Structure 1
Amino acid sequence: MDLSISHSSLRLPATIRRPFKASSKDSRLFLSPIKPRITQDIKSSSNFPTATCSSSSSTTNKLTLPPGLYGESMFSKPLLFGQHDRNSVRASAQAQAEGSDSVPLANSQVGLSVPDSVFAKVTRFLYTCYKFARPYAMRQSIISTVCLYARVLVENPQLFKWSLLLKAFPGLIAVFLAYTYYNGTNQIFDIDIDKVNKPYLPLPAGELTLKQAWYLVIFDIVAGLSILRLMNADKITTILYCLGLFFCTLYSAPPFRFKGSSLATVIVIPLITGVIQNIGILYTSQVSLGLPFWWSPPVVFITAFSTLFFVIISITKDIPDVEGDLKHNIRTFAAMFGAKNIAVAAMGLLLINYLAPIAAAFYLPQAFNLKVLLPSHLIMSVWSIFEWRKMVKENYNQESSTNFFQFLWTLLMIEFLLFPFI
């Protein structure tokens, strides 16, 4: 038995109105999509596929049609619900045109603007301050501060008390505020540059005004010094803290603006982060525990290691931007001497930085834990050579040199994490 289906017989309304009674609580238009039914008295048409049914092959008649035409398929339900939504919208528009007030409106259709609450404004401002402080950029500084303090406790386990951690926590906040001040002043004086390089920061994005930024950095100074005052910090601790703030200001602020000179950058950054920070934290930690400060071999080691490491970071940070620096006549070490020469020099200094402590540990075995220092430094030396070779194979392009620069920060954090046990 052959069945043929025509278009004209399938012209059924997509929706059917159901009779309903108006109610004072709810008066809505209910729409229901339907599927067309196929009957045997359908006229043939050459424009529609023919369905063939054979009664001899099966006890039940099966209608053979293109897959998914009327049966369930992966598209049936989404299309059906989408059609239902479109029909509902049409019906609502029609009812509104007829003056009916029974069509419910969604909240999104009303378009009412709700004013921000005080809590929302405060939350937004605090998040802007968080972005301005850039705490994620202080990860290495926070880790180094904690590990330097931990080293003092490891050397003097008899002095350890849980209350010491609470006592040292305000000092960590003071260090955090100092780095927040550094990041803030750097953004204030680099606002024009950041509009191009870092438009997502609060100042170039317009989320924070210049006046508000100045208030925040002044607050950082006042709050940091107040914490030192409450902790009864001695004069040396206060002087070291203020000295760090002073050099941070000279690094970013005109007329000095040391960051504009490659040579000054190589001097100032290691001085702040390698010498002043490490000595200041170690000195404060020992004095707060009632211990005299002395230049022990571990103190000399971590000071020399981090200072030289920041020299390496200072000369390699411009390798990814060497093409742009050459184009705009910016005199960095990478632009003046070439990316290859700077990369080779950095790798040589890095190997010296890792192999020299191994020699010192053999010379002073009583001052270092050779079982930790020897394998860890050998592993990181080989690892650094491997990462350096990857940059060389990529011909010092921007991506590979950026990855190598980020890798250096990883090595530095690992070194500080190992320091309490070396």
Structure 2
Amino acid sequence: MASLFIGSFQTPSFPVAADFSPLKTNSHAIVRVLKCKAWKRAEKHFYPEKHFYTSVKLHKQYMTQEHVGSSDGSIIAEDKKLKGRLLVHASSEHSLESQPSKSPWNSVHDAVDAFYRFSRPHTIIGTALSIISVSLLAVEKFSDFSPLFFTGMLEAIVAALFMNIYIVGLNQLSDIEIDKVNKPYLPLASGEYSMQTGVIIVSSFAILSFWLGWIVGSWPLFWALFISFLLGTAYSVNLPLMRWKRFAVVAALCIFAVRAVIVQIAFYLHIQTYVYRRPVVLSRPLLFATAFMSFFSVVIALFKDIPDIVGDKIFGIQSFTVRLGQERVFWICISLLEMAYLVAILVGATSSNIWSKYFTVLGHAALALLLWTRAKSVDFSKKTAITSFYMFIWKLFYAEYLLVPLVR
């Protein structure tokens, strides 16, 4: 209803100054009338009249609704919309007032902030930590910490981060309408980035990732990037036989394959076979990391949809949360993680290395207790509380990669 008031209005027949002039009771009031008339002349000179008269009519309409519709909930809702539109018009039409210009520093800050949100930093941190952790599993003695090791690990991290930005960016390009409901703060959903800008960023980082993987010359690294590219594309793109995120099981398998298998095994082989030139050996710590992160990847795949239930329902994404409900999926995730921590404690207890035994048992026990304590305090009626807990799950994910190299 309020939108009908915006657009082409006829010039009102009443004098404009009548709506703005105060009661002429003293000299101050007379000055204000003169200022209002001067403002009218300036407005006609600098701006199209239709914008000025639109604001006048909006103002009259808003005042009418505020007094007439206060008892009707729907009218009040329209009243708020109209008031918001009035404020927008007023602010745009009073641009004759001095406004501070944006400094170059503010522009740079805004650009960095938009890209920071676009890149989904929690996934960036998770990818970097996982590669560092898995690379350390290939270290057998102190002399293995050579410039060659750090160079190989850095090459893997940079190439993987480029691919990570491609995957999360492509997902945002495919989900703009959904993100307007679930994540309106993302640059594409908020309008900070145009579709063209998003396509350029995503394409550039995919090319950079493959270029770096190719010039490095490591086949485990290149295949890790290529498989991640295929799964990330099939997960998001709305093409025939694709957009696998619509199907809960397939979506979970995609995240499982990337986070639990590719990251663990491919990047380990990159260090083991390409950097150290050693034969392929699937060590006990590597098998533990792969198994544990399998649980964690499934939990992340399930949990990421819990805060997004509203948008997923609207756009027909049949996630487990949409099918089973938020609270039920939440406690399934908690149960899976607690089981994983219990297995990790048992693995640590059977270690022949004393310091490894203490660190892995105590570390996983502490994380399991922290998870359970935090889970019991979540308020399911607040999306912010659920989203905050999802970020807490990622922090546990980071903490696990600090413990994985200690498993011996």
TM-score normalised by the chain length of structure 1: 0.65
2:318 matched to 1:334? no
Note if contact 2:178-2:312 (Cα within 8 Å) is conserved in structure 1: no
Q: Secondary structure at the match of 1:290?
A: coil
Q: Which stretches in structure 1 are left out of the alignment for 5+ residues? A: 1-92, 94-108
> In structure 2, which of residues 165, 177, 194 is the aligned counterpart of residue 180 of structure 1?
165
Tell me which residue corresponds to 2:13: none
Question: What amino acid is the match of 1:147?
Answer: S
Q: Which has the larger radius of gyration?
A: 1
- Equivalence map 1:388-399=2 (5 Å): 388-391=375-378, 394=379, 397-399=382-384
2:339 matched to 1:352? yes
Tell me which residue corresponds to 1:145: 131
- Equivalence map 1:81-96=2 (5 Å): none
Q: What's the CA shift string for 1:308-354, capped at 9, x where partnerless? A: 11112222333344567668775332332333432332222112101
Tell me which residue corresponds to 1:286: 272
- Equivalence map 1:183-262=2 (5 Å): 183-234=168-219, 236-255=220-239, 256-262=242-248
Deviating above 4 A after TM superposition, structure 1's stretches of 4 or more consecutive aligned residues are 109-117, 119-131, 321-330
Note if contact 1:252-1:259 (Cα within 8 Å) is conserved in structure 2: yes
Note if contact 1:266-1:315 (Cα within 8 Å) is conserved in structure 2: yes
Q: Which stretches in structure 2 are left out of the alignment for 5+ residues? A: 1-34, 36-95
Note if contact 1:298-1:368 (Cα within 8 Å) is conserved in structure 2: no
- Between Structure 1 and Structure 2, how many residues are aligned? 312
RMSD (Å), alpha carbons: 3.4
Q: Secondary structure at the match of 2:397?
A: helix
Tell me which residue corresponds to 2:18: none
Cα distance in 1 for partners of 2:380, 2:189 equals 34
TM-score normalised by the chain length of structure 2: 0.67
Cα distance in 1 for partners of 2:388, 2:115 equals 29
Structure 1's 221 and 201: CA in aligned 2 closer, same or farther, altered over 3 A? same
Note if contact 1:244-1:277 (Cα within 8 Å) is conserved in structure 2: no
Quick check: which one's helix share is greater? 2
Question: What amino acid is the match of 2:271?
Answer: S
Structure 1's 330 and 121: CA in aligned 2 closer, same or farther, altered over 3 A? closer
Tell me which residue corresponds to 1:403: 388
Note if contact 2:224-2:267 (Cα within 8 Å) is conserved in structure 1: no
Structure 1's 209 and 321: CA in aligned 2 closer, same or farther, altered over 3 A? closer
Question: What amino acid is the match of 1:337?
Answer: L
Cα distance in 2 for partners of 1:259, 1:110 equals 50
Q: What's the CA shift string for 1:214-236, capped at 9, x where partnerless? A: 222222122112212222213x4
Q: Secondary structure at the match of 2:376?
A: helix
Cα distance in 2 for partners of 1:227, 1:192 equals 33
**Percent same amino acid among aligned pairs?**
24
Tell me which residue corresponds to 2:363: 376
Q: Secondary structure at the match of 1:146?
A: helix
Q: Secondary structure at the match of 2:278?
A: coil
> Which piece of structure 1 moves more, 256-265 or 188-197?
188-197
